Amino acid sequence: MIKLANAGFGNMVSIDKVVAVISPNSAPAKRLKDEARDGGRLVDITQGRRTRSIILTVANQIILSAVQVETLAARFQQEAERPAEARDLVKVLDKV
């Protein structure tokens, strides 16, 4: 089962595919973002707001998020620890 977590503005990220969540302020992070943009691997989910975190995926995609690194880490951890039954219950309630 795919575990999804909110990465900002209702956009979901598969937590099983996340390699790292980093701060966008360092020179290497900016270089990584620029290289991904040039290579067509950049996904911007900031809705025009300031980039506060960069999500790196196993598919070498770079996702820009307007959510703080610490907040994303907490969301990913919470979703990873949530039992499968709770996720299934949410899906059933959404269908009603």
pLDDT on residue 37: 98
pLDDT on residue 7: 97
Would you list the domain boundaries of the chain? Answer: 4-86
Nearest to 51 by CA among 6, 1, 7: 7
pLDDT on residue 77: 94
Let me know: does 92 contact 44? Beta carbons within 8 Å: no
Model pTM score: 0.84
Q: Tens-of-pLDDT digits for all 96 residues of the chain? A: 789 999 999 999 999 999 999 999 999 999 999 999 999 999 999 999 999 999 999 999 999 999 999 999 999 999 998 876 655 555 555 555
pLDDT on residue 87: 54
pLDDT on residue 45: 98
Residue with tokens 């969540």: 21
Let me know: does 15 contact 52? Beta carbons within 8 Å: no
